[in-house]
Amino acid sequence: MSRKLSTGPEHVIRFESVGLRYGQRPEVLEDITFALKPGSFHFLTGASGAGKSSLLRLMYLGQRPTRGLVTLFGQDVATVPRDKLPALRRRVGVVFQDFHLLDHMSAMDNVALPLRVSGVSEAEIKKHVPELLSWVGLADHLNAKPPVLSGGQKQRVAIARAVIARPDLLLADEPTGNVDDSLATRLIYLFEELNKLGTTVVIATHNEGLLRNFPHSRLHLERGRLIDPPPLKGA
């Protein structure tokens, strides 16, 4: 798939000929090249095992590429000093596929975590976190810990944590996988609201219904390579 590239900092994220392998195994991502503009909205699609989660890991700096160039907010992540990486990561909100919630903390504390690591005051945290949790339908579960929450509730806590700090880039790995269609639609609306405020959004999903209802740009992976997205079934 050929994509026009620019070298300027006008891209939120840019991949150029990026490859990724784990250990000595074959590459799970090959020659990935793309660039996302600020305020754009994308779905990341592809079959299971196509490399969606690996691509997201590279995007949220959870992994270094084996080869190629990755720039985030105009900075080559390979040359950014280690002590500057947290500041870059704080500009990225991530909804992990398995949520990555901290079981010993309440929903409120889980969502507050990105604010706390950024040094936001407790007064601000107490004001904004319950508001957001109410918005995702968890007003009655502020003090509940993840082990007592259902899959859908955990997912909403994870989403709230990813968006609470108004990230410049939001990455979500199957964020609607455990919720019903109605809530899935509401969550995409939330992502769209953030997108309207300038956040670049990338959502990895299998949900063709969402793809049909929200006709945003698609990045499609097949066997570790970005290809032109195939037409949607029934479209």
Of the pair 52, 220, the CB lying nearest other proteins is at 52
Amino acid, res. 234: G
The DSSP string of 28-76 is: SEEEEEEEE-TT-EEEEEE-TTSSHHHHHHHHTTSS--SEEEEEETTEE
> Does residue 102 interact with other proteins by CB under 8 A?
yes
Q: Where does this chain touch other proteins (CB under 8 A) — which range of 23-31, 58-66, 134-142, 212-220? A: 58-66
> Does residue 120 interact with other proteins by CB under 8 A?
no
Of the pair 110, 195, the CB lying nearest other proteins is at 110
Cα–Cα distance between 74 and 123 in angstroms, integer? 33
> Does residue 68 interact with other proteins by CB under 8 A?
no
Which pairs with CB-CB distance under 8 Å and at least 24 residues apart come from 18-27?
A: 18/58, 18/65, 18/67, 18/68, 18/69, 18/70, 19/65, 19/66, 19/67, 19/68, 20/51, 20/54, 20/58, 20/63, 20/65, 20/66, 21/66, 27/66, 27/224
Q: How far is the CB of 183 from other proteins (least distance, A)?
A: 24
> Does residue 187 interact with other proteins by CB under 8 A?
no
Which residue among 13, 18, 59, 94 contacts other proteins (CB under 8 A)?
Answer: 94
Burial class from Cβ neighbours inside 10 Å (0-12, 13-18, 19+) for residue 69 reads middle
Q: Write down the H helix ranges in the chain.
A: 52-59, 85-89, 107-117, 122-135, 151-163, 181-196, 208-213
> Does residue 79 interact with other proteins by CB under 8 A?
no
List the end-to-end C-alpha distance of the chain, in Å, as a whole number: 22
Q: Where does this chain touch other proteins (CB under 8 A) — which range of 46-54, 94-102, 214-222, 227-235? A: 94-102
User: How many residues bind to other proteins according to rule CB under 8 A?
Assistant: 24
Of the pair 58, 221, the CB lying nearest other proteins is at 58
> Does residue 117 interact with other proteins by CB under 8 A?
yes
Phi, psi dihedrals of residue 29, rounded to the nearest 5°: -130, 135
Which residue among 69, 80, 105, 144 contacts other proteins (CB under 8 A)?
Answer: 105
> Does residue 212 interact with other proteins by CB under 8 A?
no
39 in Cβ contact with 10 (< 8 Å): no
Binding mask 139-168 for other proteins (x = CB under 8 A): ----------------------x-------
> Does residue 87 interact with other proteins by CB under 8 A?
yes
Q: How far is the CB of 117 from other proteins (least distance, A)?
A: 4
> Does residue 9 interact with other proteins by CB under 8 A?
no
Residues binding other proteins (CB under 8 A): 60-64, 82-83, 86-90, 92, 94, 100, 102, 104-105, 113-114, 116-118, 161
